[in-house]
Chain A
Amino acid sequence: MSTRTETRLWIAQRASAAILALCVVVHLVVIVYAMRDGLSAETILGRTRGSFGWLAFYAVFVLAAAVHAPIGLRTVLMEWADARGRTLAIVVHAFALAIAVIGLRAVWAVFVG
């Protein structure tokens, strides 16, 4: 992996972190709001399904996580498992794909139905 690519991974890590910071705050507020009002699952889904704005928001959240977490995991595996080269690349990409697929499936279920 070239130095330029490694540097761009670092930039992507920081950029996705900024996005996640915002998304996490909004998400926590939404959770607290739903819990305090004692909303049931049916009520919540009644509000979220068909909402394009929230669909877009949570899709961005999932994609930011799919960028951020695998890059972090890559560093952890390099430092603690001495991982390098192709094996590392495969594991990291697989992890990114898993987060994206599982996350977007959930977003689809909650906001489209």
Chain B
Amino acid sequence: MAFLSVKVWRGDELGRYHRFRVPREANQTVLDVVTYIQRRLDATLSYRFACRVGMCGSCAMTVNGVARWTCRTHVAKVAADGHLEIGPLRNLPVIKDLVTDMAEFFDKWARAGGQHAPTATRKDDFARIAPDSRTRQAADAGIECIGCGVCYASCDVVAWNPDYLGPAALNRAWTLVNDVRDGARAERLRAVAGDAGCHACHTHLSCTERCPRHLAPTASIAGLKRVTAVAALRGEL
């Protein structure tokens, strides 16, 4: 029987890695490893998961230095040499072990104008939006975000600039800027521009590289840069 040598972060920001020996299985995911540790070796380990089939994004952690969904990460892919290092997502406060406080992530989502502002009432007819229209395609390209935080954890600018709204919040804002039914365009553009907004992005593309849904927040942010620049030049910002 082969074993994995697994280091798991314990405690808060001032914690340390604990070592475990976990039996190697065929078709084993990193979530399987964490679950084995908690059920068989150390019941005090705290971690999050829900669907375990790559739909909810709850199990996002740092695996060998990279933010990933642990339920969709095969051990064979990331630990061919038998060594695993598992930690909480970066750029977020650590509550305990592998669990982070995601409040700031979602607060920034709200601050970026991440809510749809309706303009129609129940008395109006359905909005007619062609699925192949330019704006709808732009919105659809980023709409599948489930707020897992992997992009936020992977972003250098988030690490360097505590006010930066981050790729997920800006990506969501972009989908709403492209929603023709939305009524809060002016406020949203003001919310996403400037030092804490899209202009802080350095186009490192870590978010796009790591997004488990294969979205491109960098492209959304580039779109916001274009639209806010035009608005600023027109005096609309």
Contacts and interface: CB of A to CB of B under 8 A. Distances in A.
Interface string B57-95: 000000000000000000000000000000000000000
A6 B225 CA distance: 12
Contact of A3 (B157, B160, B161, B197): B197
Interface of A is mostly: helix
Contacts of B225: 10
Contacts of A4: 193, 232, 237
Contacts of B233: 11
Interface in B222-237: 225, 228-229, 231-233, 237
B194 interface: yes
Interface in A64-87: 75, 78-80
A78 B229 contact: no
B199 interface: yes
Nearest to A9: B199
28 contacts: A1-B194, A1-B195, A3-B190, A3-B194, A3-B197, A3-B237, A4-B193, A4-B237, A6-B194, A6-B195, A7-B194, A7-B199, A7-B228, A7-B229, A7-B232, A8-B232, A10-B199, A10-B225, A10-B229, A11-B229, A11-B232, A11-B233, A14-B229, A78-B161, A78-B195, A79-B157, A79-B160, A79-B161
